[in-house]
Amino acid sequence: MKGMHAGKERPRRSGRKSPPPPAILHGPDETLDGANILDEMRNGVGVVLWQSLHDVILWASVPPGERRNLFRPESVRRRLAALVALGVDPPLEAALTSLAALSADPGTARPESVGAVCLQIARWAEANESVGTALAFAQGAAIASPGDAAAGFLAGCLARKQGERARAETWLRRSIVLGRRNGDRMTLFQACLVLAEMQAERGDLEGARGLFLRAFRGARRSGFRELKGQALHGLFRLAAAGGRVDEADSYARSTLHAYGRRHPRVPQVARDIGTFWLERGKFPEALSALRLLLPFARHPADRVEALAVVARAAAGAGNEEAFDDASREALQLLRRTPEEDLRSRPLLDLARGAAELQRWESAERAARLALDAAVRQGEDHASTRAQAMLSQSRKHRDGMRGRPEPALM
């Protein structure tokens, strides 16, 4: 979520001031504001966090001119003493100390400063896998600084992460309205992308397409290359899901061009594009895309998977040299892998590649190992595929005995 505040432009002038859409502040199991904090942190730190959030909510609910005497003078002393006694993480302690100071002089606190501290706490909580706490403070930031589109965007993303779709959508739509109104184009297009993904997940492909296009066009005009690539990738997935091959091909090429070959998102893009072409029997196109996985695949298990799918595409393309190179390296890694750690998918890819080249003995050996791995891991679908490949390989092997072939397994 870096760069949320980048790309600001002058707010649009409009004769009509409409409030952003209301956001959902409570989940189905929350009986009071920030209840998830106490559920996730059943200790003194959780209590201080909950108290601090409620101070922010109370402060934000009172008109600015009436905030001066909102809190009792001794409350800040008690809060600071509690922080010292608890031994809180230094980054969290610094943020909570800033919020404790709100109790000392609530009349002069600035909304954007209060919101920024809440966002610090939200990111700390997210990094510590306390998503409910992070969401509570992201909402606190959005309430304290109601014009901040980035705070609403973070709240929407965290609600989505927690599986609360309705709450996520309302915050994302709010951040789109605020981003457009306040000239925060980066947050506007980020929210469009996340909302588009959610629309696609629930089957509203046309709604998702409109949001992806909006994000793409806006990102292109604004020079946001990262967001442009994400939007093009989303448009590719929609075209692929709809079977629009030419459109998908165009978006695939544009996505890779937008990212370049070294971007960390390239592996996911390359796998999506390569799988799309594999499923349609376009092996040269699949091989070209899947080769992009190799520079990123450094962990042995990930590299085996990348090499195996490259080998499968190379075999389909009739490129025996590329198949041999990829399968040979995969073999070296597989021989050093304990049997219980073998995965069925790369073994199936190697089997299918060998079968494509009519190397039936190699295909049989790979399929047998794939079947063993699938059974160990309880993968019924993979087990069925491996069994079918094993039967096919044995049938063809029996009819071609005596023909030498390079050893695969």
State pLDDT tens for residues 253-287.
999 999 988 899 999 999 999 999 999 999 999 99
Query: Do 130 and 160 meet the contact criterion of CB atoms below 8 Å apart?
Result: no
| pLDDT for 406 | 60
| pLDDT for 7 | 44
Is the pTM above the cut of 0.85? no
Q: Nearest Cα to 142, choosing from 189, 94, 179?
A: 179
Mean pLDDT of 35-59: 89
Range among 73-82, 270-279, 397-406 with highest mean pLDDT value: 270-279
Q: Where do the H-state alpha helices sit in 317-403?
A: 320-335, 344-356, 360-377, 380-398
Reported as a single tens digit per residue, the pLDDT across 306-316 is 999 999 999 99
Percent of the chain with pLDDT over 70: 91
Range among 3-17, 145-159, 384-398 with highest mean pLDDT value: 145-159
Mean pLDDT of 288-292: 95
Distances (CA, A) of 280 to 256, 284, 315: 20, 11, 15
Q: What DSSP character marks residue 70?
A: S
Query: Do 150 and 175 meet the contact criterion of CB atoms below 8 Å apart?
Result: yes
Structure tokens at 101: 């100071």
Contacts by residues 45-48 (CB-CB < 8 Å, ≥ 24 positions apart): 45/86, 45/88, 45/92, 46/133, 48/79, 48/82, 48/83, 48/86, 48/88, 48/96
Question: Is residue 13 scored above 80 in pLDDT?
Answer: no
Backbone angles phi, psi at 262, to 5 degrees: -105, 0
| pLDDT for 20 | 61
Question: Is residue 407 scored above 70 in pLDDT?
Answer: no
| pLDDT for 34 | 77
Question: Is residue 237 scored above 60 in pLDDT?
Answer: yes
Question: Is residue 104 scored above 80 in pLDDT?
Answer: no
| pLDDT for 329 | 95
Query: Do 317 and 287 meet the contact criterion of CB atoms below 8 Å apart?
Result: yes
